[in-house]
Chain A
Amino acid sequence: MSNADLIVFKPENHLAVLAKVEAQMGERILGREEKSHYHQFKVTGKDAKDLVRFLRDDPALRFTNFIDLTAVDYLRYPVAQPERYAVITTLLSPLLGVRVQVKAFVNEGDPRLPTLSDLFEGANWTEREVWDLYGIEFQGHPDLKRILMPDDYEGHPLRKDYPLKGRGERGNFPVYHATTRKPEGGA
């Protein structure tokens, strides 16, 4: 393969993406932000999957390259946000040479949204990570269990109301005696 095929950033294609997305989603786009080299669309959690599927499957857009999926907890953010959590998906279009971000806002009381793991394989582990660290549930995920923290861990450590030093999990580990292999009294 030659270097002529390399994906190159083409800022002029942003306008085409904006027009297409706005024509398709219309009122369901809550907002749009222009960043240094990509655009960010804000939607509700319910609409995120429709938008991502449209971005991936539309023959003129073809955002087929998964880049990243993560979440942010806006509990203590100085600027008011529509909901507490936001799940942010980043995609790249090899055809147009632009990236796009979909920011899906998720309710605090009922943090759940449809999974993207059937659209992108890369979303499988990243969604598990978001579930593990933020407690946001992805409906329809094939294997939604903890990935970084231990299976029996309680709580979701990246939430803003989770203290940095934990909730005493570390101090409560049972201590075993080196030779008798019996638990010592109290930790």
Chain B
Amino acid sequence: MYSYEQEIVERDENTVHMNVGPSHPAMHGTLRVKMEVKGERIIRIQQEIGFLHTGFEKLGEHRSYNQFITLTDRLNYFSPLSNNIGFALACEELIGITVPRRCQVIRTILAEMSRLADHSLCVGAMTMDLGAFTSILWTFVEREKLYDVFEAVTGTRLTTSYTRVGGLAFDLPADFEKRVLQILDSMEKTLDNLRNSFYQNRIFLDRTEGIGCISKEMAQSYGITGPMGRASGVPYDIRKYRPYLIYGELDFNVPMYTTGDTLARYKVRIDEMEESIKLVRQAMKLLEPGPINYEDQKRTLPDKTSTYRDMESLIHHFKLVMPGEDHGIHPPVIDQYSSTEAPNGELGWHLVSDGTSNPYRVRIRPPSFINYPVLSKLLEGAMLADLVAILGSFNIIAGELDR
């Protein structure tokens, strides 16, 4: 059991004990790192997490599939839409349905836009941690514009809850296409600014080049996925591994580096944003009018306007949302692992169904939780100032880490 007195007694005379977090400006979220420091060198390091543990997996067993979508917003709160989409896709794979074409295109566009929002915050915050304050203002402006569009589409900026099992909450607003294309143009300019400011910047390169190297073998053994894994040369992207939505039809590259250092993780994110812009532009051309929800109303919630206007939709609505044995979506009695490429890596859902309206078990495989433990390995013997550089490049989100 933890006791502060004991921690003081165990001190070694020649080293200094340092505590960073759980509430510290350099720690992104409620992360705590306990270090033993000799001069500026870290001798030992211990990570502590769990400060934001909310019990999503337990709550999921007591909520219906559609109700759980509101909890997925709070996982990675920088890109709630991609969690919504990931969970909806996992449920659809469990039930065995495919959503209509228009819904798939909209989901692809929004997933890539939330990747842009997430990465833009990460690259801005990382350079801010290293002392470059202007860059976070540039990226925050872009993120703000993206959030304005999310607000226009979903009604909220942060807790979007936009998807439903088998479809979407509602269709896109009228001027969606025009607004998004405007943002993409200004986003490209910001990316150029970031490249020009940092790729040749001596201070930035000294702080990041060769710092915190993760080898390919190490990344695979830890299970590191996403931009962090691809910076280390793990050639794994679920959008290419097993294309979901309309990713199979789109033409895009997966940026990869082999050095695995902090600089590579920064560059992968910048390159991925470029690819995301390309993806949104391509997907926008495929956006055609059509239904957004799966046709069988016994599986998916009916459109809100028809719920209010015709009797049959109202009956279906009640059959899906009322509590009790006979109501709700009834998936087959199986368990199923499915995953999507979230901005931080593989976001996996292991759903176990017992045939009732609530899932029997919801396992969230959050990319942050799997990516984070490698930090203490990287920092042993490293300089104290490397902590912020390395942690900034990890983009650990506490909501997803602790669930």
Give the B-binding residues of A (Cβ under 8 A). Answer: 1, 3, 5-9, 35-38, 64-68, 70, 72-73, 76-79, 88, 90, 92, 94, 97, 99, 101, 120-122, 124-126, 129, 133, 146-152, 157-158, 164
Q: Which of B213-258 contact A (CB under 8 A)?
A: 217-218, 220-224, 233-237, 240-242, 253-254, 256-258
Q: A3-B240, A35-B337 are in contact. Are A68 and B49 (CB under 8 A)?
A: no
**B244 CB to closest chain A CB, in angstroms?**
11
Whole-angstrom distance between the alpha carbons of A76 and B356 in the complex? 12
Q: Please determine whether A36 and B50 come into contact, CB atoms closer than 8 angstroms.
A: no
- Please give 7 more A-B residue pairs, beta carbons under 8 A apart, in addition to A3-B253, A36-B336, A66-B370: A7-B241, A9-B241, A72-B352, A76-B354, A79-B333, A122-B224, A125-B370
Q: Please determine whether A152 and B2 come into contact, CB atoms closer than 8 angstroms.
A: yes
Q: Which residues of B contact A70 (CB under 8 A)?
A: 350, 363, 365
Whole-angstrom distance between the alpha carbons of A6 and B241 in the complex? 7
Give the A-binding residues of B (Cβ under 8 A). Answer: 1-2, 49-50, 53, 55, 57-59, 61-62, 93, 217-218, 220-224, 233-237, 240-242, 253-254, 256-258, 333-338, 346, 348, 350, 352, 354-355, 360-361, 363, 365, 369-370, 372-374, 377, 402-403
Q: Please determine whether B234 and A65 come into contact, CB atoms closer than 8 angstroms.
A: yes
Q: Which residues of A contact B377 (CB under 8 A)?
A: 121
Whole-angstrom distance between the alpha carbons of A133 and B236 in the complex? 30
Q: Please determine whether A65 and B55 come into contact, CB atoms closer than 8 angstroms.
A: no
Main secondary structure of the interface of A (DSSP, over half): loop
Q: Which residues of A contact B365 (CB under 8 A)?
A: 67-68, 70, 90
Q: Give me 20 A-to-B residue pairs in the complex whose CB atoms sit less than 8 angstroms apart, sorted by A's number.
A: A3-B240, A5-B256, A35-B337, A64-B220, A65-B220, A68-B348, A70-B350, A70-B365, A77-B354, A88-B350, A97-B241, A120-B221, A120-B222, A120-B223, A121-B218, A122-B373, A125-B370, A148-B53, A149-B50, A164-B59
Q: A3-B254, A8-B240, A92-B236 are in contact. Are A65 and B50 (CB under 8 A)?
A: no
